Amino acid sequence: MTSPPVHGSQALFPVVDGNLVVGGIALPRLAQRVGATPFYAYDRALLSARVAEVRSRLPAGLQVHYSMKANPMPALVQHMAGLVDGIDVASAGEMKVALDTGMAPEHISFAGPGKRDAELLQAVAAGVCVHVESERELHALARMGDETGLAPQVVLRVNPDFELKGSGMRMGGGAKQFGIDAEDAPRALALAATLGLDILGFHVFGGSQSLKPEAIVQAQAQTVALMLRLAEASRDPVRLLNLGGGFGIPYFPGEQPLDLAPVGAALEQALPALRAALPQARLAIELGRYLVGEAGVYVARVIDRKVSRGQVFLVTDGGLHHHLAASGNFGQVIRKNYPVAIGNRMDAAERAPQSVVGPLCTPLDLLAERMELPLAEVGDLVVVFQSGAYGRSASPQGFLSHPEVVEVLV
Ligand SMILES: *Cc1c(COP(=O)(O)O)cnc(C)c1O
CATH architecture, domain defined by 104-287: Alpha-Beta Barrel (3.20)
Whether ligand 1 lies within 6 angstroms of the CB of 42 is answered as: no
Q: Rounded mean pLDDT of the chain?
A: 94
Please indicate, yes or no, whether the overall pTM of this predicted structure exceeds 0.85: yes
pLDDT in tens, 329-357: 998 889 999 999 999 999 999 999 999 99
Compute CA distances 385 → 51, 131, 327, whole Å: 19, 33, 13
Mean pLDDT of all residues in 171-184 = 88
Whether ligand 1 lies within 6 angstroms of the CB of 390 is answered as: no
Whether ligand 1 lies within 6 angstroms of the CB of 66 is answered as: no
Topology annotation, domain 8-43+294-409: Lyase, Ornithine Decarboxylase; Chain A, domain 1 (2.40.37)
Nearest protein CA to atom 15 of ligand 1, as residue: 112
Mean pLDDT of all residues in 8-15 = 84
The amino acid present at 249, given as its one-letter code, is I
Mean pLDDT of all residues in 208-230 = 94
Dist CA 19 CA 25 (whole Å): 9
Q: Output phi, psi for 402, to 5 deg.
A: -85, 165
Q: How many CB atoms lie within 10 A of CB 372?
A: 14
Whether ligand 1 lies within 6 angstroms of the CB of 270 is answered as: no
Smallest Cα–Cα separation from 111: which of 174, 65, 168, 164? 65
Q: pLDDT band at 66, cuts 50/70/90? A: very high
> 382-408 as b/e, with b when 16 or more CB fall inside 10 Å?
bbbbbbbbbbbeebeeeeeebeebbbb
Dist CA 170 CA 208 (whole Å): 6
Q: Is the dihedral of CA 74, 76, 82, 83 positive or negative?
A: negative
DSSP H or E segment with residue 74: helix 74-81
Whether ligand 1 lies within 6 angstroms of the CB of 319 is answered as: no
Whether ligand 1 lies within 6 angstroms of the CB of 245 is answered as: yes
Nearest protein CA to atom 9 of ligand 1, as residue: 288
Residue from 91, 216, 286, 330 whose mutation best tests the ligand 1 pocket (most atoms within 8 A of CB):
286
Q: Is the dihedral of CA 60, 62, 63, 67 positive or negative?
A: negative
Instruction: State the pLDDT at residue 10.
Output: 78
Smallest Cα–Cα separation from 226: which of 197, 206, 199? 206
Q: pLDDT band at 8, cuts 50/70/90? A: low
Domain boundaries, the chain: 8-43+294-409, 104-287
The amino acid present at 358, given as its one-letter code, is G
